[in-house]
Amino acid sequence: MKVLVVNCGSSSLKYQLLNMENDTLMAKGLAERIGIEGSRLKHEVPGKDEVVIEKELPDHKAAFKLLSDILVDKERGVIDDMSEIAAVGHRVVHGGEKFSGSVRINDEVMKTLYDCADLAPLHNPPNIMGIEACRQLMPDVPMVGVFDTAFHQTLPDYAYIYPLPYEYYEKYGIRKYGFHGTSHKYVSLRAAQLLEKPYESLKIITCHLGNGASITAVDRGKSVETTMGFTPLEGLAMGTRCGSIDAAIVAFLMEKENMTAEQVNDILNKRSGVLGISGVSSDFRDLEQAATEGNKRAQMAINVFAYRVKSYIGSYSAVMNGVDAIVFTAGLGENSVSMREKICEGLDYLGVEIDREANNVRGREKIISKAGSKTQVLVVPTNEELMIAKETVDIIG
C-alpha cells in the first residue's frame, strides 16, 4: 500500500510517498514559494540526486499537479500511475476538541475543520486549502486528517483548564491543547519497542527539542501533560519563542513601549527564546559555537533552555508518580550530545545515569543510559510522516 503524506503551509507543500509494505520512503519533496514569484519544486528519490523544477505555481492545486506529474515521470518518478496511491494523509495543526484521533476526511469533517480554523489562524487555513486542492485532483482517493493536537486530547481537565474565568473556555475554547502530538506519539511508541516493553506499561517523558520545542508526559500510552498550550507559545524556551512567562509582562510591555497586542505577540513569538536572550541566533549550533568562544549571553541562553527542560522532567515525573524512560528527539534532541548531557546532569535522584560513550550519537536510535540505569534515556529520531502514514493506513483499513 502506497501512502502520500502531505503537509501544506501558506506558501509551501511538503510531501513524502511511503511504501507501507515495508515502511520505506519512495520519494519526498517540497514545493516552495507557492503564489509568490520564483516558485519551485524540489524532489528527491532515495539514492538519486535531488531534482529542482522551477515553475510558476500560482496555488496549491498547481503544486499538486506538478507533484503528481513528477511522481509518474518516466525518468524521475517512482510510480507508473497515480492510481497506485491508495490513500493520502494530511497533517493538520489544530483539531480543537473536535478531533481526539485521526479521521477520514469527508464533507462533514471539512466543515468542522473550517470551524477550528480560528484556533490556529496561521496554520489551519493553509492545511485546509491543501486538502481542498488535493481532493479536487484526486477525488476518488481516501484521505485522512492527522492532527498535531489529537494525541493530547487525553489530558485530564485539571491539566488542560487554565485558572481563568471559566466562561472564556466555554466561549472561545481557551484551554491547553498541546502540539507536536504526532511526534510525541511516534517516539514514545518507538521507545517502548526499543526497550522491548509493552507501551501500556511505561511512564515516558518525551522531549521534542527543535526550533519549536515541547515535552510530554506519556503515561501508559496516553498523553497526560504537555508543555505547549492554547498555542505553541507556552512551555519551554524555544528558538525564538519565549515559552511560559508571567502573563502580566504583556500588559506591562504594551504600556511601557506603547505597543499593540500584535507587536507584543510578534516579540514573544519571533524575537524571544534563545535568540532573544543571546542576541546571537536561534540556532543551537551557532549558540554552542559562540559559547565556546566565550559569549556569556549565548551560554546563558543554553543554560536557560536546559534548565527549563530539566524542571519539566522533574514536574512530569511527579505528574506520573515516576518515570521509566526519557526520550530525546527533533533537531537538537537528536543531535546535541552536550545539551542531552547538560539536561541529564543532576537527575540521579530520578535514577538517570547517562553512558557518556553511548550518548556520543547523532540522528539515530540509541539507548544512551547505562545498563543499570533505573530510568532509561533514549535518542529516537522523530518521523512524523511515517506516523501520519501509519495512522492513515489504520483509518482506511
Which active-site residues does the annotation give? Answer: 148
Of 77, 181, 210, 276, the residue at the interface with ligand ADP (CB under 6 A) is 210
Residues 299, 262: contact at Cβ < 8 Å? no
Which of 96, 130, 212, 273 binds ligand ADP (CB under 6 A)? It is 212
Nearer to ligand ADP, 130 or 381 (CB): 381
Q: Do 315 and 195 meet the contact criterion of CB atoms below 8 Å apart?
A: no
Site string for ligand ADP, 244-283 (x = CB under 6 A): ---------------------------------------x
Q: Does 64 contact ligand ADP by CB under 6 A?
A: no
Q: How far is the CB of 362 from ligand ADP (least distance, A)?
A: 6
Minimal distance, residue 335 CB to ligand ADP, in Å: 3
Q: Is 239 in the site for ligand ADP (CB under 6 A)?
A: yes
In the sheet with 376-379, reading across from the earlier edge strand, the strands are: 222-226, 213-219, 203-209, 325-329, 376-379, 366-367
> Site for ligand ADP (CB under 6 A): how many residues?
12
Distance CA 315, CA 374 (A): 18
SS3 332: helix
Cα of 333 vs its chain's centroid, Å = 13
Only segment of 84-92, 185-193, 205-213, 220-228 that touches ligand ADP (CB under 6 A): 205-213
SS3 content of the chain, % helix, strand, coil (to 5): 40, 20, 40
Chosen residue from 147, 177, 284, 305 binding ligand ADP by CB under 6 A: 284
Q: What is the DSSP string of 107-172?
A: HHHHHHHHHHGGGSTTTHHHHHHHHHHHHHHSTTS-EEEEETTGGGGG--HHHH--SS-HHHHHHH
Contacts of range 167-173, beta carbons closer than 8 Å, 24 or more positions apart: 173/96, 173/97, 173/119
178 binds ligand ADP (CB under 6 A): no
**Residue 211, interface with ligand ADP (CB under 6 A)?**
yes
Residues 320-379 contacting ligand ADP, CB under 6 A: 330-332, 335-336
373 or 382, CB closer to ligand ADP? 382
* Residue 12 lies near ligand ADP (rule: CB under 6 A): no
Residues that bind ligand ADP (CB under 6 A): 210-212, 239, 283-285, 330-332, 335-336
